[in-house]
Amino acid sequence: MFGFHTEAAEVVRGIDLTGRQVVITGASSGIGVETARALGSAGADLVLGVRDVAKGEEALGGISGSVRLLQLDLSDLASVADFAAQITAPVDVLICNAGVSKTPDKHLANGLDVRFATNHLGHFHLAHLLKPQMAANDLGRGARIVVVSSAAHKGMPVRLDDLQWQSREHFDGAAYAESKSANILFAQEATRRWRGGGIVANAVLPGSSLTGLQRFHGEALKRKIGFIHEDGSLDPRMKTAGQAAATSVWAATAAELEGRGGLVLEDCGEALPVGPETHAWAGYDASVADPETARALWEHSEELVGQFLP
């Protein structure tokens, strides 16, 4: 049985992904590296998007199988378009893994919140650009989109009237959490709109692990959040990067998920709505996953892409 402690490498044992193309964003550190390593070991052809190609080459050395490493800055829609243009073969799986949390700059020069632009809008645009390649799969199987969200989404529904945090006091953590709610809504709405073409999307709660996502978190903040104790030791609720990658790998490969989308996944299974049966770091906030908000966010995202494309 898979669960909290399952490593990504365990998920792909006995699975053959030969001939399947998998696109992964944010593949140069943490969960992304372990996701790529596991899927590559199963024979997948990997296309890996990274901000820094040199760093990616160093981090991804030794990964099995066919690997293409391409530059990708998800906060820049032109970079997203350049990346997508280099992918012409059918895509079986798109894993929207890249993300930013606390950053030195809160907004881009164009006024977009850094977290919203990177974590949601860039992936939204990428999925649209790769939709023909996902729909072009002619081998009798559908394509999957895996969107990496976070338990941080709880209690932070998307504010459609202020997506860029222009009229609220801006907190990195809150803006990050709201972008993670947007990830869940995107998976829901992509499934609703694209299921007829054989494309489904699921959101993943990977669990907490110390990765490059926290590179701007100081020790005090890590203690406040609960990642580490006063003596510097890790909280037992923390996962290794390999454990945190396991649900993404499961979402990409599990036979029982064939044709199923709009789900929130956790610990290699379906996540439970927050309630008496879930602990503080587990489960998803069902109040965030509102279908009408998902539709409205999709339409607003389309408008933003049109507005900010060069």
Q: Residue written as tokens 């770091």?
A: 281
- Residue of 103, 17, 19, 87 lying closest to 49 (CA atoms): 87
Angle at 212 between CA 10 and CA 112, to 5 degrees: 120
Q: Catalytic pick from 83, 116, 176, 194?
A: 176
Separation of alpha carbons 5 and 26, rounded Å: 23
The single-letter code of the amino acid at 40 is G
The single-letter code of the amino acid at 187 is A
Tell me phi and psi for residue 95, to 5 degrees: -110, 110
3-state secondary structure of 105: coil
Q: Where are the alpha helices (DSSP H) in the chain?
A: 8-11, 30-41, 53-59, 77-85, 114-115, 122-135, 172-194, 219-225, 241-253, 291-308
Q: Quick check: is 176 catalytic?
A: yes
Residues with active-site annotation: 176
